[in-house]
Amino acid sequence: MITKLDDLLELVKSKEKKNLVAAYANDSHTIGAVSAAVDKGIVNATLVGDIETIKKICAEEGINPDKFELVQEANDNKAGALAVKLINEGKGDFLMKGLLSTDKYMRAILNKESGLMPGKKNDMLTHMAVMEVPAYHKLLVCSDMAIIPAPDFKQKTAIMNFLIQVSKSLQNPKPKVAVLAATEQVSIGMPACAEAAWLGMQSLRGQIPGAVVDGPLSLDCAIDKESAQTKKLTSEVAGDADCLLFPNIESGNIFYKACTKFAHAELACMVMGARVPCVLTSRGDSAKTKLYSIALAALQCK
């Protein structure tokens, strides 16, 4: 099982090289991360953006622009649409966000006529993060922190399946999923608790093969064995969770930012639910975070 993000890079290097398309790659962090991924043999890369700007950044960073295929589009909205078009034409296996804003990036993916959605009735996107938190003994796969404000039970079921898929791609044969709530007690007055209990019961009944799901679990019980033992919880997941399913965007987003800012967690982020994985990081994220995110998305490509 992969326990460090650096191990993720080694794992992806052993797989078939994938083709990345970066939308509006007009910034040094994006170009630097893609360059490192190309150098490591993880991807071939197409950068969509203003070629003059890209070449100027490459010169400043000591990067040879000839390692990329460059496609001209100086407008950020049009660059997002063009990057998606290249994916749809089979010229890329996955998408990456460059300097354009998240709403413009998502708009290109969600476009009903030219986007990347499968076209099924219950299509949905979810934001996935694999986090390396120094205080925890292994990687944590978490969702949703950035897209779905208040997932209903069907959406939580879909998110859970994505969590399991990502965890298994990290060579975890039987992921342990903690469905989080404010308390580990089953409280009928708290929908998050009731839905977590339903998901946990499905796991007990064998309806979720290849994983162990338990809920509701408070965060301390999910990741700290001592807390679970103090509260007399008997659970295979408690204190040893591989995956965290958050009850709403507020809890997920606050956890995500607290881990990165206070605990200096490293992470890899992407969007799942489209026809291809889509790297989604903040414009201010480091080149290292973007490199890890490229590797994670490449690992999810079919």
DSSP secondary structure string, 164-214?
HHHHHHTT-SS-EEEEE-S-SS--TT-HHHHHHHHHHHHHHTT-STT-EEE
**282, pLDDT greater than 80:** no
* Contact call for residues 24 and 96 (beta carbons, < 8 A): no
Q: What tokens does 51 get?
A: 């070629």
Q: What is the pLDDT of residue 283?
A: 67
Q: What percent of the chain has pLDDT over 90?
A: 88
Q: 131-170 pLDDT, tens per residue? A: 999 999 999 999 999 999 999 999 999 999 999 999 999 9
CATH 3.40.50.300 holds for 126-261:
no
Instruction: Note the pLDDT of residue 119.
Output: 82
How would residue 34 be classed by pLDDT, with cut points 50, 70 and 90? very high
Residue 123, pLDDT score: 85
| pLDDT at residue number 185 | 86
- The span from the first CA to the last CA of the chain, in angstroms, equals 20
Query: Between 3.40.50.920, 3.40.50.10950, 3.30.420.240, 3.30.450.30, what CATH number should domain 5-117+275-300 receive?
Result: 3.40.50.10950
pLDDT recorded at residue 188:
79
CA-CA-CA-CA dihedral for 112, 115, 116, 119, to nearest 10? 20
Give yes or no for residue 205 having a pLDDT over 80. Answer: yes
Q: pTM of whole model > 0.85?
A: yes
Reduced to 3 states, what is the DSSP secondary structure of residue 75?
coil
The domains of the chain are located at 5-117+275-300, 126-261
